[in-house]
Amino acid sequence: MLVFSLTSHDSFISLNHLRRVILELTPGSPRPMVLVGNKADLVHAREVSDEEIRDLANTWGCDYFEVAAPEPWQVVVRPFAAIYQAVLNGRASH
């Protein structure tokens, strides 16, 4: 699960490094991943565009979710359910 703050473009950019480290540490293993944009409730402070996120998710072949701490647990749990399902299906991002 690759989490970044929607209010920090730097945190979004750092995902590339984080993903690279994960891939290096787990060669040959299935690595299901999901992107999670946190702080979705802080719309006025958003620094990462929907287009940037969609492009990255498409490039990596993974799902994307936006969450915010004040949301009900049913919303916040969706990325966890998606990665669990990906593990069960043996689906890895590229």
Over the chain (94 residues), the average pLDDT of each successive run of 10 is 96 95 84 91 94 95 90 82 84 58
Kind and range of the H or E element at 63?
strand 63-66
Please give the model's pTM, rounded to 2 decimal places.
0.83
Chain centroid, CA 30 distance in Å: 17
H-state helical runs in the chain: 9-13, 15-25, 50-60, 73-76, 78-89
Any idea where the domains of the chain sit in the sequence? 2-89
CA angle 46, 67, 42 (to 5 degrees): 30
Query: What superfamily does domain 2-89 belong to in CATH?
Result: P-loop containing nucleotide triphosphate hydrolases (3.40.50.300)
